[in-house]
Amino acid sequence: MPITERPDEVFVRGEGAWLWDDQGRRHLDWLQGWAVNALGHCPPVLAQALQAQATTLITPSPALHNRPSLALAARLCGLSGMHQAWFGSTGAEANEGAIKLARKWGRARRDGAFEVITFDNAFHGRTLATMAASGKPGWERLFPPQAPGFAKARWNDLDSVRALVGPQTVAVMLEPVQGEAGVRPAGPGFLRGLRALCDEQRLLLIFDEVQTGCGRLGELFAFQRHGVLPDVVTLGKGLGGGVPISALLAREPACVFEHGDQGGTYGGHPLMAAAALAVLEVVAQPAFLAGVRERGEQLAAGLRTLARRHGGGEVRGDGLLWALELGRDDGPALVQAARARGLLVNAARPHCLRFMPRLNSTAEEIDHGLALLDDTPAGGAGA
């Protein structure tokens, strides 16, 4: 089905930072599955974990315990300060679960409150509920009628959130960095203000860390980067390092699910849980996270140099999630031109490029990608 525009190349092999197409051409991959391949393509630690688990137990049933999922739940709760975990396959599943958890909490603790405040330009997934929670322009016209129960506040505007709080409000849900909107970070003061507002009004604070979690910003979780503890956290993408797994984590006061409230055929799948455990053992190391911050500073400095050289605009981001404003709507053309040079990047919006290299990128890979971008025939980063 023609659900998205794809280039003609067929990609057949990946290793580390690189992808090869069926014509034998090598591409430096700064997409990495949309921030999915935390350790790059086919990392040995992930392949070994999958192979070992596949010879032991692939899946019993989500109605039965398995050791990898129990171990992963304990590890994530220990690392995050949360108290319970549920596992799905996609970030949208985890976010849908967070919305359900909030509504169940509202019924139990806030006289049936159900409305979740989200934000303009937010992206929370492609189910009907998570699309309604999102603020992506034009989505309100797709697949009507929209699921009700979501009020939209303005990004980084605490007063606009406060103005929307009412008797039916149960939670505030946001991405610490709006990735699909062009890597737009929430200000630390804004996040602290949301925490205080939620405490004052007895609301849940939900962080969608599907893209920012698991080391992407140079800390294991974005909320740790900003010193703001949410009540509910969702994870996906980099959690599995390339295999489909997501997580819904919650602190004890928000843990109101009962038997039958949430489920899924592949929830807690041991093969995926074993993979996520292997990824976490790498990305949770302080030295590894320090490396993410160092390479992120290198990438940001290089992008700023390119912006000055080619007339580009703002460079935004943190860790190894960055965007470069172009000053005009040349993003799709630049993506195509960069791919012809052997660099895979993404135009999050027509006016900006987004960069999501593997978290264990080398200094040489960052320099090489910047050089390819500088030499892109469409005129470089600012054309």
| pTM for this model (two decimals) | 0.96
CA-to-CA distance for 51 and 380, rounded, in angstroms? 43
Residue 383 pLDDT > 60? no
Q: How far is CA 168 from CA 128, 165, 175, in A?
A: 21, 8, 22
CATH 3.40.640.10-classified regions of the chain: 45-283
User: How would DSSP label each residue in 281-317?
Assistant: HHHTSHHHHHHHHHHHHHHHHHHHHHHHHHT---EEE
pLDDT bin (cut points 50, 70, 90) of residue 3 is confident
Which residues are CB-neighbours of 323 under 8 A, at least 6 positions away?
182, 183, 184, 315, 316, 317, 348, 352, 353, 354, 355
Residue 68 pLDDT > 90? yes
Residue 379 pLDDT > 90? no
Residue 166 pLDDT > 70? yes
Handedness of CA 262, 263, 269, 272 (dihedral sign): negative
What is the SS3 assignment for 47? Answer: helix
Rounded-to-10 torsion of CA 6, 8, 13, 15: -60
- Mean pLDDT within 222-248: 97
CATH fit for domain 45-283, picks 3.30.420.40, 3.20.20.70, 3.40.640.10, 3.40.470.10: 3.40.640.10
| Beta carbons within 10 angstroms of residue 199's beta carbon | 11
pLDDT bin (cut points 50, 70, 90) of residue 378 is low
The distance from CA 338 to its chain's CA centroid, rounded to whole angstroms, is: 24
Residues of the chain by 3-state class (helix, strand, coil), percent to 5: 40, 20, 40
Residue 109 pLDDT > 70? yes
CA-to-CA distance for 383 and 376, rounded, in angstroms? 9
Percent of the chain with pLDDT over 70: 98
* Contact present, 121 and 106 (Cβ < 8 Å): no
Residue 381 pLDDT > 60? no
Residue 380 pLDDT > 80? no
CA-to-CA distance for 277 and 50, rounded, in angstroms? 11
Residue 313 pLDDT > 90? yes
CATH 3.90.1150.10-classified regions of the chain: 11-30+286-374
- Please give the biggest Cα pair distance in the chain: 61
* Whole-number pLDDT of residue 5: 87
Class of domain 11-30+286-374: alpha beta
Instruction: Look up residue 102 and give its two tokens.
Output: 């909030």
Q: Which residues pair with 349 in a beta bridge?
A: 352
